Amino acid sequence: MSVIAPLAPPAAPLAAAPSRRPAHVAIIMDGNGRWAEARGLPRIAGHRAGAQAARRTIEQALEHGVPWLTLYAFSSENWRRPAEEVTDLTGLLRHYLRNEIKELAANGVRLRVIGEAHRFPPDVQALIAEAIERTRRNHRLNLTIALSYGGRGEILAAVRRAAELVRAGELAPEAIDEETFGQFLFTGEMPDPDLIIRTSGERRLSNFLLWQAAYAELVFLDVLWPDFDACHFAAALADFARRERRFGARPG
Ligand code: IPE
Ligand code: IPE
Ligand code: MG
């Protein structure tokens, strides 16, 4: 018997079967504050660098042919942060919407926003609506930005809507199945995420896509969001390609 340990099987190549590639990658972009702190910079510098990382990631999704990319940019709980940081983040969002949409549109990106957009200042709401409208006919990459998004709030809003339809006699309680209910969520027309990546070393969902994440593969990376690059993205896709997804069925 050989005492030499067998060679580990080669990692699945990135260009594996299409099913081994996620159709929908969702990212919890965390760690901007710590990135800035480590450099003795104000938190806004971390958020600015984070916006650059988001830009790179969109390019990577286009490059890898990932058709759906969702970025968690601001949670419904992030309003609890100091007013100054919220103002800075809103300013950054305004800047992003004013300056990046043209390029996104030219690259065939369709923008969607999930979350409570109405909580942002009216001019930002108008920029969001304009960006969505302007990119509506694109289909190379479906980019969704989660803004003032929270999974529990989203589910509650859907429950309320279903209840109102039932009260109005327009929906039978027994007709509320996963598909019908899913239509009431912000993500109604979107596929569930196949892969959720979180940066910064935290291993939690922080209220992100709670319903939709039911069978998502989770990848937690010990990298702060502003440092997230093409290699990290490719590594997460390679990790996903090696996973066996079972959806509760028998392995094999
Ligand atoms: C993520 O970075 C960006 C937002 C939540 C808006 P953080 O600001 O949470 O950075 P850390 O987690 O404090 O390092
Ligand atoms: C999650 O990060 C939200 C976003 C990345 C937009 P947080 O920094 O808000 O999450 P917690 O507070 O560490 O759970
Ligand atoms: Mg954080």
Number of residues that make up the chain: 252
For the chain, what is the domain count? 1
Radius of gyration of the chain measured on its C-alpha atoms = 20
Residue nearest to atom 13 of ligand 1 (CA): 33
Is the CB of 148 within 6 Å of ligand 1? no
* Residue 206 is assigned to a structural domain of this protein: yes
Write down the H helix ranges in 107-228. Answer: 122-134, 151-167, 178-183
Domain residue limits at 109: 2-9+21-149+189-242
pLDDT at 10 over 80: no
Average pLDDT, the chain: 94
The residue that leads in pLDDT, 6 or 62, is 62
pLDDT band, very low/low/confident/very high, at 250 (cuts 50, 70, 90): confident
Specify the 3-state DSSP secondary structure of 22.
coil
Strands 24-28 and 109-114: unpaired
Does 6 score more than 50 pLDDT?
no
Tell me: pLDDT of 206 over 70. Answer: yes
pLDDT band at 18 (very low <50, low <70, confident <90, very high): low
Please give the DSSP secondary-structure letter assigned to residue 214. Answer: T
CA of 250 to the centre of ligand 3 (A): 37
**30 ligand 1 Cβ < 6 A:** yes
Going from the Cα of 43 to the center of ligand 1, the distance in angstroms, rounded, reads 9
Higher-pLDDT residue of 229 and 17 is 229
Q: Is the CB of 34 under 6 A from ligand 1?
A: yes
Q: What is the pLDDT of residues 167-203, one digit of tens each?
A: 999 999 999 999 999 999 999 999 999 999 999 999 9
Query: 29 alpha carbon to ligand 3 midpoint, in Å?
Result: 8
CATH code at position 66: 3.40.1180.10
Would you state the pLDDT for residue 251?
A: 80
Q: Which atom of ligand 2 is nearest to the CA of 204?
A: 14
Q: Where does the pLDDT of residue 219 fall: very low under 50, low under 70, confident under 90, or very high at 90 and above?
A: very high
Q: Tokens at residue 106, please? A: 């030219």
Average pLDDT on 229-244 reads 98
Residue ranges near ligand 3 (ion) with Cβ within 5 Å? 30
> Which is the closest atom of ligand 2 to the Cα of 225?
5
CA 65–ligand 3 middle distance (angstroms): 28
Task: Give the whole-angstrom CA distance, residue 119 versus residue 75.
Answer: 12
Confidence grade of residue 17 (pLDDT, cut at 50, 70, 90): low
* Position 138 in a domain: yes
Active-site residue flag, 142:
no
Active-site residue 194, yes or no?
no
Name the burial class of residue 137, with classes exposed (0-12), middle (13-18) and buried (19+) by CB atoms within 10 angstroms of its CB.
exposed
Query: Would 124 be classed as within a structural domain?
Result: yes
> Tokens standing for 188?
């109604």
Residue 92 lies in a domain: yes
